[in-house]
Copies of this chain bind each other. A is one copy, B any other.
Amino acid sequence: MAKEKKMVEAITSMEEDFAQWYTDVVKKAELVDYSSVKGCMVIKPAGYAIWENIQKELDSRFKEAGVENVYMPIFIPESLLQKEKDHVEGFAPEVAWVTKGGLNELQEPLCVRPKSETLFCDFYARDIQSYRDLPRVYNQWCSVVRWEKETRPFLRSREFLWQEGHTAHATAEEAEERTVQMLNLYAQFCEEVLAIPVIKGKKTDKEKFAGAESTYTIEALMHDGKALQSGTSHNFGDGFAKAFGIQFTDRDNVLKYVHQTSWGVSTRIIGAIIMVHGDDSGLVLPPRIAPTQVMVIPIAQHKEGVLEKAEAIKNELQGQFRVKLDASEKGPGFKFAEQEMRGIPVRIELGPKDLEAGQAVIVRRDTREKITVALDELSKKVGEVLDAMQTEMLERARAHRDAHTYVARDYEEFKETVANRPGFVKAMWCGDEACENKIKEETTATSRCMPWKQEHLADTCVCCGRKAKAMVYWGKAY
């Protein structure tokens, strides 16, 4: 048992050092590895399989929402990046530049895409002529590069995987509708599939995307009380259209600018799954996103019939669940620890005594609940346990978030809360960026969003005491 114990001991406890716990989990659950390329990660099979499931779930929702996938070039010529002023200011300091192709210097440097609005705009300017060409609801799955200084697996890296939707519409109303529709789609996906409850809201001008008219966001609360921006949806209005000359002839024969949106979710969301659901034994994956939902683990597998029955159980469950059998030579304790570390939602233990009694033991990853089941009821029971786990994980995450969401009515209370109680703080705001800046400087909390569900907590701004314009969620963030 020495080796098994060692494996568990190797993880720092969450309470002791959350950041180290996170690093330990991504490494020990074999989600990622570091690479020889500074700031870039290797996504290993266990990590990539989560991303594949996210892609599959999101992409089918996209297609139902009328989205078509495309692929744009990986490079952006410098002149193209510079066409939209706010946009280039936002991105220039953090892009990687290709200056040499083959053996020759390039005449014009190309940046490796940090995001592709300029390419989509350049394309739409040629592609859209008439109202008949609208709307265009395109998306691409790709990797993007941002030259970050401090990096952490999934949360912030120089390269990450994501999807970026880019749409063009005939009217401002339609663009706004699409912006909201996609944010709702993200929120639903997070809650239904990832069991992560989110706050939907609007970013302040200070926090919105460079070049956007408005940015909507979903904000999730991690186990340590910090917020994670988990997806964004931007309404660009006609700003990019004017910079790139994207015009169409409308039904009334008048030449008009299109209205555009953009929205994205990245591998960052895997960080959210880890930090919302994980525990001191490792990862805990919501059943709907888990690459392996059930691990069958035989006990005393050398005893007659055990391995055969375990195999039979795997085969029986296979059509209904994503199931694996661990028939390796490791001891059961080690297999348990490994399955727990990897966050596999359910394990089925089967030993000689179970075999004799015609039963098996189901163990839930999140609650450790052990349920003894007759073999002929196994598949039904596994289904029930996975469903219950999915539902309860969301409820637990919501309860945790609600228990860590505070209200502050004056600045003293605000500062005291941010300093001592990790979580969201709801407080009123006057709308002035100066107050946001002051709060950030003095507390390190930032405005996460102005939630769609507004509450009237007070008449005055929590910071300056002037008339309040909106309720804001504040928090320390990743």
A99 B102 Cβ-Cβ under 8 A: no
Cα-based distance from A441 to B75 in the complex (angstroms): 36
A138 B45 Cβ-Cβ under 8 A: yes
A42 B70 Cβ-Cβ under 8 A: yes
Say whether, besides A42-B71, A71-B161, A35 and B97 are in contact (CB < 8 Å): no
- In whole Å, how far is A137's beta carbon from the nearest beta carbon of chain B? 10
Question: CB-CB contacts of A68-84 with B at 8 A, as 1s and 0s?
Answer: 11111111110010000
Give chain B residues whose Cβ lies under 8 Å from the Cβ of A95. 102
Cα-based distance from A42 to B35 in the complex (angstroms): 30
A147 B101 Cβ-Cβ under 8 A: yes
Give chain B residues whose Cβ lies under 8 Å from the Cβ of A33. 123, 126-127
Neighbour of A102 across the interface among B74, B93, B101, CB < 8 A: B93
Cα-based distance from A359 to B161 in the complex (angstroms): 49
A37 B110 Cβ-Cβ under 8 A: yes
B99 A143 Cβ-Cβ under 8 A: no
Tell me if A88 counts as interface (CB < 8 A to partner B).
no
Cα-based distance from A254 to B96 in the complex (angstroms): 44
Tell me if A284 counts as interface (CB < 8 A to partner B).
no
B122 A36 Cβ-Cβ under 8 A: yes
B70 A44 Cβ-Cβ under 8 A: yes
Give chain B residues whose Cβ lies under 8 Å from the Cβ of A42. 70-73, 119, 123
Neighbour of A74 across the interface among B36, B51, B71, B112, CB < 8 A: B112
Tell me if A94 counts as interface (CB < 8 A to partner B).
yes
Say whether, besides A35-B122, A76-B37, A95-B102, A143 and B142 are in contact (CB < 8 Å): yes
A97 B100 Cβ-Cβ under 8 A: yes
The number of chain A residues touching the other chain, given as a range, is: 35 or more
Tell me if A317 counts as interface (CB < 8 A to partner B).
no
Cα-based distance from A173 to B467 in the complex (angstroms): 77
B147 A40 Cβ-Cβ under 8 A: no
Tell me if A2 counts as interface (CB < 8 A to partner B).
no
Give chain B residues whose Cβ lies under 8 Å from the Cβ of A119. 35-37, 42
Neighbour of A45 across the interface among B35, B48, B70, CB < 8 A: B70
A75 B159 Cβ-Cβ under 8 A: yes
Contacting residues of chain A (83-117) with chain B, CB-CB under 8 angstroms = 93-103, 109-110, 112
Question: CB-CB contacts of A202-224 with B at 8 A, as 1s and 0s?
Answer: 00000000000000000000000
9 more CB-based (< 8 A) A-B contacts, given A42-B70, A142-B143: A33-B126, A35-B123, A37-B119, A42-B72, A74-B112, A96-B100, A96-B101, A98-B112, A99-B100
